[in-house]
Amino acid sequence: MNWPLQIARSCSTEYSFRPMTQAAANIAVRCLDVVKSYGEAAGRVQALRGIELEVRFGELLMLVGPSGSGKTTLLSVIAGLLDPDEGECRVLDHNWQAMDRDDRARFRGRSIGFVFQAFNLLSSLTASENVAIPLIINGASLRDAQERAEQALERVGLGARASARPGELSGGQQQRVAVARALVHDPKLIVCDEPTSNLDHVTGGQVMDLLRAHAQAADRALIVVTHDSRIFSYADRIAYVEDGAIERWTESEAGLNG
Ligand SMILES: Nc1ncnc2c1ncn2[C@@H]1O[C@H](COP(=O)(O)OP(=O)(O)OP(=O)(O)O)[C@@H](O)[C@H]1O
Ligand SMILES: [Mg+2]
């Protein structure tokens, strides 16, 4: 008997799970019945009301919806920055709820890039130092981190501003620094909260080209929250979020216009 078959027979439980694992292999993110509230009693706000969501590898999923509908809350749960009250999110085959704080930080640092709605750049660091942070966290040498950070800034058109501090940059330039920081460590999942909100049409298109190119590999995925209808055509699928729930889906631009 050959050895793979021997192993399969000697651990029949694992073997019987194989088809399921393969079926899940093209799913980067799976959220099951996610519920999240903020506050207590009369001040309680139900931000997410039972979200069911799957993001496939290789796809760009957009989350669209009115202000206050729960988009940032959902991204935060997916990125493991916020715990849901009920339900769970599995990301790249990891369950946030099963990990302790250190494991979460390590996994997030290695595997996820996040563009925050408010950029969250460190004001005392230069643009290239901000972009280098994920690399340093992952153990790169300072020299290597700086070099790669500068290359990432070049890709978002900010090579010449690498030594500027966030306070010396425009809103759109800060946003592009945040995009460079999300891409620099080549994460498998990138989560972006309004990545083009401060950008003109051309620069917004360049940033989306960059993000989409990153996500198109078979082991990557990208989630973009946006109000910016100019970039809807970049999406493979769009989920419309309203009052904490996904109301409907469309597939690609053809679906959008249909
Ligand atoms: N830290 C918080 N404390 C209390 N309520 C919050 C908190 N964060 C968000 N909320 C509330 O939860 C709901 C969803 O907020 P969320 O930020 O997820 O919306 P959003 O869809 O991202 O909105 P926007 O498009 O304006 O960014 C809103 O009613 C908001 O007021
Ligand atoms: Mg938001």
User: Which of 49, 67, 73 to mutate for ligand 1's pocket (most ligand atoms within 8 Å of CB)?
Assistant: 73
- Kindly report, residue by residue over 38-53, the tens digit of the pLDDT: 999 999 999 999 999 9
pLDDT score for 24: 62
Work out whether strand 94-95 and strand 86-91 pair parallel, antiparallel, or are unpaired: antiparallel
Res. 23: pLDDT tops 90 = no
Res. 161: pLDDT tops 60 = yes
Of the listed ligands, the closest to the CA of 49 is 1
Cβ of 68 less than 6 Å from ligand 1: yes
pLDDT score for 252: 75
Q: Angle at CA 61, nearest 5°, toward 158 and 68? A: 85
**188 in Cβ contact with 92 (< 8 Å):** yes
- Kindly report, residue by residue over 77-107, the tens digit of the pLDDT: 999 999 999 999 999 999 998 999 999 999 9
Domains of the chain: which residue ranges?
58-80+100-257
Q: Angle at CA 90, nearest 5°, toward 226 and 98? A: 130
Ligand 1 centroid – CA 46 distance (Å): 9
Cβ of 13 less than 6 Å from ligand 1: no
**196 in Cβ contact with 207 (< 8 Å):** yes
Comparing 100 with 255, which gets the higher pLDDT? 100
Cβ of 70 less than 6 Å from ligand 1: yes
Q: What percent of the chain has pLDDT over 90?
A: 84
Maximal C-alpha separation, the chain:
68
Q: Which fold has domain 58-80+100-257?
A: Rossmann fold (3.40.50)
User: Which of 45, 193, 227 to mutate for ligand 1's pocket (most ligand atoms within 8 Å of CB)?
Assistant: 45
pLDDT class of 25 with cuts at 50, 70, 90: confident
Backbone torsions φ then ψ of 185, nearest 5 degrees: -100, 15
Q: CB 45: neighbour CB atoms within 10 A?
A: 12
Residue 256 burial (10 A CB sphere; 0-12, 13-18, 19+): middle
